[in-house]
Structure 1
């Protein structure tokens, strides 16, 4: 007699396992502990076999019968349903291993050890926010150019055109890695060149007029926030390094007696030397009394970690500066580059070396941390003196080009 929903629901456990039979080889197996499993008994190749059809009540009577019928269709076509299930499971595992997200995370794991932490975080953040929710679970070999374009259009639609271009670039890197590892035939994102409008690149907001710089420096001295952040603000224009390099500066990198700061440039992975003006050393001496026993010069709320990447810009906004149109943490580099050349008349190559930019010389050397070092020591002190005079309102004379 065929089973009913009521009969299945009311079936109680007994002292030992027992079975309630339905039709066409299906039965319900009930354990002494009360568990209920759907099974199908069938013969294949002259042998009696059994196939699990699911667990009750997750799989109801109707669904169990549908699964039974599907298995019997396979049998009618000469296919063993238990073998077919193993094949499908293996295919699912392979598909999961070759999904866009799996390949992307594998690519990221291989590449990211050579990147700056902030750069790596941005890339994975873009993938997790803008790509994985729509493409992550799909087999990378099955993804087509229109699928990727839909992802890019979604980013573009929220007004983040530059991010859309970066997502396009990152997807291309993942696809090329998939091609190299035999999991995709080609980089389909290459078909989307020109599909997005060109991004308008703007420079970081910066102050380059001496009068405006003077007001900025005076605001730093009057900053009402923490002493650590105030010191970072006062040192930012003196060092004009990248914001991430400033906030992650470590005391072990400084030699205050020699007035030097040596660290590895985050962008180029080259060693860099920052000569310290006497004003910079004085600020560091003050700060050393507070954080000198810590790893980081500018520790965050968790003193084992550096100051937040948003701290400088947050402090600038707190003082009333617009970080989109007036000044940003990265803007001190443009400030120094402009004024050192136009007002203080220092040669471009000396400034560019102090900015840790790649500057090829006649011998083809891309960057040399000690090149122009004597000139750079002079320049950094002249720069600090110039900023002091701006801040106090003293007339600032143009300094002749160094010989």
Structure 2
């Protein structure tokens, strides 16, 4: 009697391992842990042999029967299915053609342009959700059905967002494999639409977007009674809307007072690309005042405890809390959202704003063109923006600052 999909689904673990037969030597093996495996039991040269065809539910009953049929055909041709499978895998590994080997080559290729955190996140997702299931397979043999089973397994755990992220990673790996002539198509694109969309709204960093509220924030910063260095870091951070890591790690040798530029090196940028920040007159004045302190540190805003270290990651947010803002109302990273909103609402071009945010173009030719085209315009934009912030701080009329300029 053959198995049904319901019987396979409802098979419960027992104190000892047991098997339920299907047909032609195919059976479902259920372990005490609850894990279920598809096995093909056959005899070759008079010896009993067992071949693993996959795990359930990644491999369904219908898929297991297809695998069993192919293995049976191999056996009828006088070839040991288990040995044939091992030879195929060995050949793929020798040619660096398994999914895991190609994926690790892709990881290595991109590691220089990623932060350590990004690399670890991507490698972790692949190691936890992908490699154990399809990592050993020749990448050219992986079908859309294999990918679908992989993604459905992740979705079944209630981690739909992770499933979407894993799908994106796998798709990038297959595109890389196409580029190096390992495969002809990206099977992820065929089944990616089968995943339910993520309906929850994306969590945004707490930020202020009302101009009057921004003016109030600026006055709070001016009145801040905490450490002088922290206060000035907040002021420069709002004028330049750079990331916490960038502002806290700012060094004096990165500042060109003559050119009115701050050149941030690639290793401190999220996208691992050097970035130039035009400095307004307001920022230059703050920097000159800080420099007059003659603080013997290479950092512009050193730690309040140790001059040889940068401000701690929580220092800026702690200062914002002291001003009365909760974490739901505002955080330092929200400065970027605040400034971006003001810039967009007053008509500045998206490309120029994105360039100032260091959102690097993937098209390198266009990126170089944008840099040359927008440097002068970005310098003008940053000065006008600083003047606008000052007008909000001083309680002036809320006028679209681009038009006013």
- TM-score for the superposition, normalised by structure 1: 0.57
1:196–1:89 Cα change, 3 Å: closer
Find the aligned partners of 1:303 and 1:90 in 2 and give their Cα distance: 60
Find the aligned partners of 1:337 and 1:297 in 2 and give their Cα distance: 24
Tell me what 2:396 maps to: 396
Tell me what 1:99 maps to: 98
Q: Offset of 1:105 from its aligned partner?
A: 1.0
Tell me what 1:113 maps to: 112
Q: Offset of 1:272 from its aligned partner?
A: 2.8
1:272 aligns with 2:269: no
Counterpart pick for 1:336 among 336, 339, 359: 339
SS of residue matched to 2:193: coil
Find the aligned partners of 1:137 and 1:191 in 2 and give their Cα distance: 22
Tell me what 1:241 maps to: 242
Tell me what 2:4 maps to: none
CA RMSD of aligned residues (A): 5.1
**Contact between 1:205 and 1:327, CA under 8 Å: does it hold in 2?**
yes
**Contact between 2:92 and 2:138, CA under 8 Å: does it hold in 1?**
no
Tell me what 1:326 maps to: 329
Q: How does 1:160-309 map to 2 (within 5 A)?
A: 160-184=159-183, 186-200=185-199, 202=202, 203-214=204-215, 216-217=217-218, 218=220, 222=224, 232-243=233-244, 245-256=246-257, 258-263=259-264, 267=271, 269=273, 271-279=275-283, 281-282=285-286, 285-286=289-290, 292-293=297-298
Query: What per-residue deviation string (whole Å, max 9, x for no partner) do you get for residues 284-310 of structure 1?
Result: 75388557325x866799999977777
SS of residue matched to 1:194: helix
Gaps of 5+ in 2: 1-45, 48-77, 362-367
**Contact between 2:99 and 2:137, CA under 8 Å: does it hold in 1?**
yes
SS of residue matched to 1:370: helix
Q: How does 1:366-385 map to 2 (within 5 A)?
A: 366-367=370-371, 368-372=373-377, 375-376=380-381, 378-385=383-390
1:292–1:379 Cα change, 3 Å: farther
Find the aligned partners of 1:230 and 1:128 in 2 and give their Cα distance: 43
Find the aligned partners of 2:348 and 2:247 in 1 and give their Cα distance: 25
SS of residue matched to 2:195: coil
Q: Offset of 1:234 from its aligned partner?
A: 3.7
Find the aligned partners of 1:379 and 1:152 in 2 and give their Cα distance: 49
Gaps of 5+ in 1: 1-68, 71-78
SS of residue matched to 2:375: coil
Aligned residues: 315
- TM-score for the superposition, normalised by structure 2: 0.57
Structure having the higher Rg: 1
**Contact between 1:242 and 1:330, CA under 8 Å: does it hold in 2?**
yes
Query: What per-residue deviation string (whole Å, max 9, x for no partner) do you get for residues 224-282 of structure 1?
Result: 7x877665444321211345544554433212465421336755947533213435642
SS of residue matched to 1:371: helix
